[in-house]
Structure 1
Amino acid sequence: MTPPSFSEKKLLDNDAVAAWVFLAPALVILSIFVLFPIFYLLYLSFTGGSFTSTGTYWVGLKNYRRLFLSPDFWQVIGNTIYFTLATVMPSLIIPLGLAVLLNRSLLGRGLLRSAYFLPSIVSLVAAGLGFRWLFQTDGPVNSLLEALGLGTIPWLGSTLWAMPVLIILSIWKQLGFNMVVFLAGLQTIPPSRYEAAQLDGANNWQQFWYITLPGLQPTLIFAIVTTAIFTLRSFEQVYVITGGGPLNSTNLLVYYIYEEAFGLFDFGYAAAAATVLLGVTLILVYLQLRTWSD
């Protein structure tokens, strides 16, 4: 292999310079709006005080020590885990089933796709207000339960039933997006595989288990990670419907960070909690990239 000539080296150097010139605006924007806030968040998590005349001061690991020794923080972590697990699984299973059905030649398939996708474009604040009206004590849901002779349920005033309201809203909100993702993934599976399976006598369940699911593996990984991240950053549902109550039973991590930062003005402690959330999100993204690369 002959070494590159002087003119080729110069061309390569010019291409490298041109690449950096074109990338520079994007890198500047990325540094200002992504990298700088992350590094500042990390710095802030090691400080105390507030943005007043007293200013902030270095406290080291005090915020993290206080965070991990706080019963309220661990209750919030438990709430977030419960909310995430209860939201992610139905948000994958239901859209996957709908996508498989809508991928076939059905009457009004386009209208059904639009109807199922509609929740994804509705504002979470507007949806939250609607759900609060539906599940209030004298709302339509309790009126229906009374008509069926089942009695009323204090949905938003009960530590048992308040969280399921938030979960139902989050599932409803995520349903359309995941369905479209799965529909796109189904289009990549060659129809010849299903035809061969039918010739071999495979029923619908066998075709789904041995052809559809393996063919959707990359799509499933993407949907799992994006749904988990969407769930972990949930804020509007809690803010609009329950405010973290009753008795802190629906307080999720993002809302907890908001309360500590803008309710109590304890920015260092809130930054430490936000750093924990950032770490969990980065782990999820790493697992997604690692799985795709394998």
Structure 2
Amino acid sequence: MQGLSTTTKHPTPAERGLRAGWWTYRRRQQLWGFLFALPAVILFAVFAIYPILQTFYLSFFDFNLVDPPQFVGLRNFETILTTSAFRDSIAFTFRYAFGTYIPTLVLALALALALNTKLPGRSVLRMVNFIPVVISWVIVAVVWKLIFHQNGLMNVFLSSLGLYTPDWLLSRDWAPYAIIIPSIWKEIGFYMVIFLAGLQNIPTVYYEAGKIDGTSAWQAFRYITLPLLRPTIVLAIVISIINGLKIFIPPFVMTQGGPAGSTRVMALIIYQTAFANGRMGRASAMAVMLFLIILLFTLIQNRLYGTGRDVEA
């Protein structure tokens, strides 16, 4: 039996040179990519990462911009958690977040369903509903502050109907609604676009099969649209809650957190504690608490969104 012989083909000098040149080219391209990204990385580190780390650091100090910082451990956290003003701000922040997202998402989904049909002029309607999203929050807050003035358009309208005309911005009972209503008006268009994107990703073959089986519009919505739109709905819910927890401009411009702290959100009390009272350490502890709450909801979003995508798959 004759043995088999094997030969090993060695690369020629030209092939080795070509391969080395290719790796050199790739390294050069990677280096250029890194250099182009470096300015953005530096800016992100300076204006995002460093302030977060500095806030965590200052939360353990008694720092008032005048005296040298003094380490106090967890005393700042103990103080804010036992302060009624901060606890009330947490309560109103959650009230605002949940009170805003429910009507906003319901109305946005209804608009998306309507504009996902062959409705005449739907492109114009999409644009009109999205306009409030691109308007600055400061402008929105100033305009709605005038609308909710005691002699503003809202009370003129209510008076013409013979209804009660509250002092929206000076009443503990009505001021929260004066903050929530503009937020709903401004955010509907944003979530409408999210829902439209989700609706347009649903294959039409499911609806065609449903028509063959004789399903009604409600049955198609309940058994086809809602299950397949679940990841989008979960994403919109958590984004809405997170945005609600970070709200600052509407209560700052419209009520300054009043009357009697009834519209003071966490971001606003952090601002007032830091820049009005000069208690930077205590304000940093409040900011850390807000950061941890938002981080918790972000983790929940990632978990639920991943689960929703698994169900869809």
Instruction: Return closer, same or farther for 1:113/1:72 CA change in 2, 3 Å cut-off.
Output: same
Residue aligning to 1:148: 161
Residue aligning to 2:170: 157
State the 1:22 CA deviation: 6.2
Residue aligning to 1:70: 83
1:164-216 C-alpha deviation (Å, 9 max, x unpaired): 11110111111011001111111100111111111111111111111111222
- Whether the 8 Å contact between 2:235 and 2:305 is mirrored in structure 1 is no
Residue aligning to 1:272: 285
3-state SS of the aligned residue for 1:216? helix
- TM-score normalized by the length of structure 2: 0.86
Q: 5 Å matches for 1:147-226?
A: 147-226=160-239
Match status 1:291 vs 2:291: no
Q: 5 Å matches for 1:72-87?
A: 72-87=85-100
Instruction: Return closer, same or farther for 1:20/1:293 CA change in 2, 3 Å cut-off.
Output: farther
Residue aligning to 1:242: 255
State the 1:31 CA deviation: 2.3
Match status 1:262 vs 2:278: no
- Whether the 8 Å contact between 1:170 and 1:231 is mirrored in structure 2 is no
The aligned amino acid for 2:46 is I
- Whether the 8 Å contact between 1:157 and 1:246 is mirrored in structure 2 is yes
State the 1:21 CA deviation: 5.8
Please point out which of 117, 124, 137 is paired with 1:104.
117
Question: Number of residue pairs matched?
Answer: 288
3-state SS of the aligned residue for 2:70? strand
| Distance of 1:247 and 1:26 partners within structure 2 | 43
Which ranges in structure 1 are unaligned for 5 or more consecutive residues? 1-6
State the 1:270 CA deviation: 0.6
- Whether the 8 Å contact between 2:97 and 2:243 is mirrored in structure 1 is no
Please point out which of 110, 114, 131 is paired with 1:118.
131
3-state SS of the aligned residue for 1:225? helix
Match status 1:43 vs 2:57: yes
The aligned amino acid for 1:55 is P
Which ranges in structure 2 are unaligned for 5 or more consecutive residues? 1-18, 308-313
The aligned amino acid for 1:43 is Y
- Percent of pairs with identical residues: 37
The aligned amino acid for 1:49 is F
| Distance of 2:287 and 2:188 partners within structure 1 | 27
State the 1:260 CA deviation: 0.3
State the 1:15 CA deviation: 8.9
3-state SS of the aligned residue for 1:129? helix
Instruction: Return closer, same or farther for 1:15/1:279 CA change in 2, 3 Å cut-off.
Output: farther
Q: Which structure is larger by alpha-carbon Rg, 1 or 2? A: 2
| Distance of 2:153 and 2:35 partners within structure 1 | 59
- TM-score normalized by the length of structure 1: 0.91
Instruction: Return closer, same or farther for 1:226/1:15 CA change in 2, 3 Å cut-off.
Output: farther
Please point out which of 102, 107, 115 is paired with 1:94.
107
Match status 1:55 vs 2:64: no
Instruction: Return closer, same or farther for 1:15/1:204 CA change in 2, 3 Å cut-off.
Output: farther
| Distance of 1:278 and 1:167 partners within structure 2 | 22
RMSD: 2.2
